[in-house]
Amino acid sequence: MSTDTATKKRDEFDVEILDTVGQPLLKDQAEVKMAARGCDVFYADHQAIFGVDLDIGKNEIIAMIGPSGCGKSTFLRALNRMNDTIDICKVTGDLTLDGQDIYAKDQDPVLLRARVGMVFQKPNPFPKSIYDNVAYGARLHGLVTNKSELDDLVEASLTKAGLFKEVKDSLLKPGTGLSGGQQQRLCIARTIAVDPEVILMDEPTSALDPIATAIIEELMDELRHNYTIAIVTHSMQQAARISQRTAYFHLGKLVEVNATNTVFTNPEHKLTENYITGRFG
């Protein structure tokens, strides 16, 4: 294919879609936790992601933004093989965690999802007690050997998720009885309990009120010290508040990745500028 075809493609606003601009790849490769190279994602014949190259750094929060349908969630789900659960979905290219191919034949997706956990848009606690919600993964993966260790793990996970104080006297009550914001922190505790290295968050606060949102954002800032976080968000304000780098997607392509401050104050690509100034999206 000639480069002309690749570089002269124009979007519906008649803006040239160039190769990704900014800093998709980290200069210090020792800092890379997850990496994508030439990642394409298809739903049957429909291609949703085109040739994404991106490094996700250790202990950073990277925000993925872009108009509805641009493929943010699809790309996020490729990072822990959640797309495997969709029959028609096919992921190609190289996706690695600590340099290891996460789509390798001998990679168990369940074990991968313990290392690369996910928090969804709508809090989805199991219909179990608060305690059992957090204990579930640890039991499944045999992470503890006795009840006292499990008690400690449940308390530590709820504490890290900023929820323990609020629920310590009601651990045996149903998780579904908590408020929306508490349920989302319970889901974060459940994710943390299996000792992940990366946490993927798909619009984790879009179903929450501003106070619950602020609590989760503060929590993310603390979690960053121990985990790598990739978040899809519709809120540019949220991306600006919480992330160190921001990736802007458009029509399935990664258009720009830069330091968050640069993306929101001095974007390199016209499409990014159009989006952040509210000209579409």
Ligand X SMILES: Nc1ncnc2c1ncn2[C@@H]1O[C@H](COP(=O)(O)OP(=O)(O)OP(=O)(O)O)[C@@H](O)[C@H]1O
Query: Residue 65 or 134: which CB sits closer to ligand X?
Result: 65
Considering the complex, what minimum distance in angstroms separates the CB of residue 46 from ligand X?
Answer: 6
Closer residue to ligand X (CB): 39 or 134: 39
Q: How far is the CB of 68 from ligand X (least distance, A)?
A: 3
In three-state secondary structure terms, 121 is coil
Distance CA 277, CA 58 (A): 30
Least distance to ligand X from the beta carbon of 241, Å?
Answer: 19
CB of 84 to ligand X, least distance (A): 12
CA distances 168 to 57, 137, 208, 218, Å, are: 34, 20, 22, 21
- The helix/strand/coil state of 100 is strand
Alpha-carbon distances, residue 15 vs 19, 214, 222, 269 (angstroms): 13, 36, 39, 10
CA-derived radius of gyration, the chain: 19
CB within 8 Å of 90: residues ≥ 6 apart: 41, 42
**Chain positions contacting ligand X, by CB under 6 A:** 43, 46, 48, 66, 68-74, 86
